[in-house]
Structure 1
Amino acid sequence: MFKGEKVCLTAMRAEDLPDYRKWNGEAGFGRNYNSSPIREISEKQANDWFQENTERDFRFAIRPVGLDTFMGVCAIEDIEWPHRVGWLSIALGPDFQGHGYGTEAMAILMNYAWNELNLHRLQLTVFDYNQPAIAMYERLGFQKEGVYREFLQRDGKRHDMFLYGKLTSESSDF
């Protein structure tokens, strides 16, 4: 259930945290991952994030099949169990972007959401300047459902944030 041709999803490990901390301070990672100002997070912040475990969140490390290399993180978060709705997120380290790893990791994550968690709707947000992610989400069958106009400002320019969603009935893997 957690293995594809290129990548597998595993539990996060304490030894993944130094890379995760470093990547958060890099514009190519942090500016695509969230709207917070770019900064390297502290060891305590990373450990708190790592230890965070709720029944509403399922977080995974992305690794190459057969190797322990930490490539990134993906998650189903803030699940609304009565409504069977979850938020997806993914972030790959700079050296692992553009090779199809994210697409495969998202497909594995969606399969888990549909077939193990029995979710009905998956949703995510993405900034208008993150064209590679938008293309990936659309290839995976997500539909653009809304726009948070001029949601954030980066380098003196306003950017929209798009809302994408996908229903279990729209999944050919289910």
Structure 2
Amino acid sequence: MLQLIPFQEKDFQTLFNWIESPRSLMQWGGPMFNFPLTHQQLMDYKDAEDRRAFQVYDPSLDEIVGHLSIGRIDLDKKQGRIGKVIVSPKYRGKGYGRHMIQLISMYAFQHLKLEKVTLGVFDFNRGAIRCYENAGFTIDHYFKKTSPI
């Protein structure tokens, strides 16, 4: 069974290794980060008051297989947002993403006592969309910019 391990400074190199291009950084972190990913950017990310970031450990492999976080945690409104999801390149396409999403959702509901958990994904990231739907998420809002504002 997968385990969530709090993301620490010693884990930064894992993300540096997995995020090798501006596109992979945008897909993982959106506009929050600039390429190349830096130590300071990850410190700011890790230390945010309203976020819990995790490495995902598979004890059967004795390896870290992914990373994700739940951010925008608002305990008064009992809601948060899953984000920064990445599966190790070595383990993509093996079902880890769905299990990771289910695991962080259980953490949000059981440990943080949240009542609503959302996530965001770029529309071009079809694999992630399928993964999130397979984990039980449904599309709530879909905005598509069709003309300049």
TM-score class, shorter = 0.7 to 0.9
1:112 corresponds in structure 2 to 107
Q: How far apart, in 2, do the equivalents of 1:11 and 1:35 lie?
A: 21
Question: In proportion to residue count, which structure has more strand?
Answer: 1
Identity %: 22
1:77 corresponds in structure 2 to 71
Q: 1:127 aligned to 103, 119, 122, which one?
A: 122
| 1:42 partner amino acid | T
Matched, 1:31 2:26: yes
Q: How many residues align?
A: 145
- The structural deviation recorded for 1:103 is 1.1
Matched, 1:14 2:5: no
The 8 Å contact of residues 22 and 36 in structure 2, kept in 1 or not, is answered as no
Q: How does 1:1-174 map to 2 (within 5 A)?
A: 4=1, 7-26=2-21, 29-36=24-31, 39-50=35-46, 52-54=47-49, 56-66=50-60, 69-89=63-83, 90-150=85-145
The 8 Å contact of residues 59 and 74 in structure 1, kept in 2 or not, is answered as yes
Structure 1 residue runs of 5 or longer lacking an equivalent are 152-174
Structure 2 residue runs of 5 or longer lacking an equivalent are none
TM-score by length of 1: 0.71
Give the stretch that moved more between structures: 56-65 or 25-34.
Answer: 25-34
TM-score by length of 2: 0.82
